[in-house]
Amino acid sequence: MSPEATEDDALYQAALEEIDDCQSQIDSLNEQASEEILAVEVRFNTLRKPHYSKRAEIIAKVPRFWITAFMNHPQLSLSIPEDQQHCLQYLQNLLIEEFEDIKNGYKIILKFDPNNPYFENDTLVKEYRLEVSGQPKSVVTPIKWKPGKNILNDNSEKGSRKRKAFENSFFSWFTDSNHSNLDEIADILKDEIWPNPLQFFMMPEALSEEGDDDGDVDDEEDEDDEEGGEVDEGDSNYDTD
């Protein structure tokens, strides 16, 4: 190899090293940027928290707030059969709690009237977390159904056709800890309902039902002898206590 070639080679190597140095600086700035963005998100989570708490407190006083919001959601309403609608009337609060390190997961917390006739629990939690291995995992509170009140079992008694229709129901979703990917109900609760539940609560019924009307047999209309429409037991007035 000629001395010139060796010199060229050394210059070539030096250039690559210089590029690598620039790259390290860029990488380190990228990392800093990610950290700062995460810090902003964590800080605003803290700032939002008292407002979410206050919102939860007031919502708990409005009877059937959550079930009304749920039933006004065009997709979510399809997952809530009649008996589950009745049970979800006792849902007093829905909370989404992100982990301190928000990349690691979140919890969906459902607070029920402790006197609800369906189960002993007053709080049901479904937690989505990223394992150390990077695998997503979900953990759920076991529901302690009161005797004869397990809505999921009740469905199975009524034959496989009905059972199939409710496979993707709200409570079957809740109790299934395998739904890690493509978890439509979790996504709707976290990204659509939770950011602004009032807009669903207030949504005129006609609007929320628009999507259902065509073609499909919709048996929503002929259920009035039981509890009528979605949930309309008693008046939808403010609960004064």
CB atoms within 10 A of CB 146: 11
Using CB under 8 A, which residues numbered 25 to 84 contact a second copy?
A: 25-27, 29-30, 32-33, 36-37, 40-41, 44, 47-48, 51-52, 54-55, 58-59, 61-62
Give every strand in the sheet of 136-140, ordered side by side: 91-98, 105-112, 123-130, 136-140
Q: Which residue, 25 or 115, is less far from a second copy as judged by CB?
A: 25
Quick check: 213 binds a second copy (CB under 8 A)? no
Structural tokens at position 98: 């992100």
Q: Which of 133, 178, 181, 237 binds a second copy (CB under 8 A)?
A: 237
The answer to whether residue 103 forms part of the interface with a second copy (CB under 8 A) is: no
164 binds a second copy (CB under 8 A): no
9 contacts a second copy (rule: CB under 8 A): yes
Size of the site for a second copy (CB under 8 A): 47
**1 makes contact with a second copy (CB under 8 A):** no
**Could you list the residues that contact a second copy (CB under 8 A)?**
5, 7-9, 11-16, 18-20, 22-23, 25-27, 29-30, 32-33, 36-37, 40-41, 44, 47-48, 51-52, 54-55, 58-59, 61-62, 195-196, 198, 201-202, 235-238, 240
